Structure 1
Amino acid sequence: MSSKTRTVLAAGVLAAALGLGATAQASAGAPRSVSGKPSDDITRIADFYGTYIDAVLDEDSGNLGKALRSHYLTPAFQKELAAWEDRAHADGVLRAQNVPLAWKVTDAGTVRNHTEAVVTLTWSRGSTTKLVVDMTRDSHRIFHIGEKGAGRN
């Protein structure tokens, strides 16, 4: 098993252990419960964003973030994202130069052969950015990330 495969598997185990991929809600004093399934595109997008944000926040070298991109993004979109990052001098997954304080993934429906989600990133002082994220239904890989209302990049 390659180190890249081990890194991606470790990230998946970490995501599952942390319960990424679904909204965790509980009333005061009640235990939290989180669920998800790998065949569900919204769960996969949430897993990616939760793990990616943790990786960017925790890691200086960026190896885990790169491995996650390689696993969750189509090869063509990885190239497109790199070009966007060169132009914008920002992280293309987050569309920002810093790391959000919180994230939420909302199902925006299925269009033809892909699932669309809105990812809401919450920054300091409660400001938010909404991203549209598209994932293919067959390969379960992300092929587009863009700011909501900004059109295709």
Structure 2
Amino acid sequence: MTSNISNSATTSSASSNNGGKSTNRLRSTRRRTTLAVGLALALGLGATAQASAGSPRSVSGSPSDNITRIADFYGAYIDAVTDEGGGKLKDELRKHYLTPAFQKELNAWEAKNHADGVLQAQNVPLAWKVTDNGTANYTEAGVTLTWSSDTSTKLVVGMTRDHKIFHLGTKGAAGS
């Protein structure tokens, strides 16, 4: 008797004389082989799928880059507004990042509109994105605040060369 699977017809005919014991053994071997191959494939694919599920994200920036500073400000500000007890941090961030004149301007806007001047809203966005608009004498950035999957607000933020925000609105500091 041979154990080669390609010779299964010979094995089957030979095993019929043994009361079918060899046929059962061959079927059992095939089942184990199929199960082992299936298990190996499943485990192999599972490991591959898990390893490629997502690569680590990275965020980079530079303290001398105004776009980074504007993004840092919005990230920290939104955290302060969202986090319980973040009111003092929110105020400190405004003092650190905004010019004194612009702080007064925002305070007046907030009193008139009953909303947060930095966010230009009463709510807190789910996400934000900062994009360089490019200007010569100061940095102008577009800030997109996302409120839901289909609602966002676009703001224009101006920052001086000494890293202070002096303008925020729907148009740039030059009115465009």
User: TM-score scaled by structure 2?
Assistant: 0.66
- Pick the aligned partner of 1:118 from 111, 133, 142: 142
Matches within 5 A, 1:3-152: 28-60=53-85, 62-112=87-137, 114-137=138-161, 139-148=162-171
Structure 1 counterpart of 2:167, one-letter code: H
Of structures 1 and 2, the larger Rg is shown by: 2
**Structure 2 counterpart of 1:124, which letter?**
S
SS in 1 for 2:133: strand
Cα root mean square deviation, aligned: 2.0
1:65-87 deviation per Cα after TM superposition (whole angstroms, max 9, x unaligned): 00000000000000000000001
Separation in 2, partners of 1:116, 1:28: 37
Mapped to 2, the partners of 1:67 and 1:116 lie a distance apart of 23
2:95 aligns to what SS in structure 1? helix
Greater relative CO (CA pairs within 8 A, separation 6+): 1
Greater share of residues in strand: 1
Whether contact under 8 Å (1:104, 1:121) holds in the other structure is yes
Structure 2: runs of 5 or more not aligned: 1-51
Q: Distance in 1 between matches of 2:73 and 2:128?
A: 11
Query: 1:60, CA displacement in angstroms?
Result: 3.9
Question: Quick one: percent identity of the two aligned structures?
Answer: 73
1:125 Cα deviation from its structure 2 partner: 3.7
Question: Are the aligned partners of 2:80 and 2:86 in contact in 1 as well (CA < 8 Å)?
Answer: no
Report the alpha carbon displacement of residue 110 of structure 1 after superposing the two structures with TM. Answer: 2.0
Runs of 4 or more consecutive aligned structure 1 residues displaced over 6 Å after TM superposition: none
Shift of 1:148: 4.1
2:123 partner letter: N
Indicate the structure with greater helix content.
2
| Structure 1 residue 59: Cα displacement | 3.2
CA separation of 1:74 and 1:34: change in aligned 2, threshold 3 A: same
2:118 alignment partner, SS class: coil
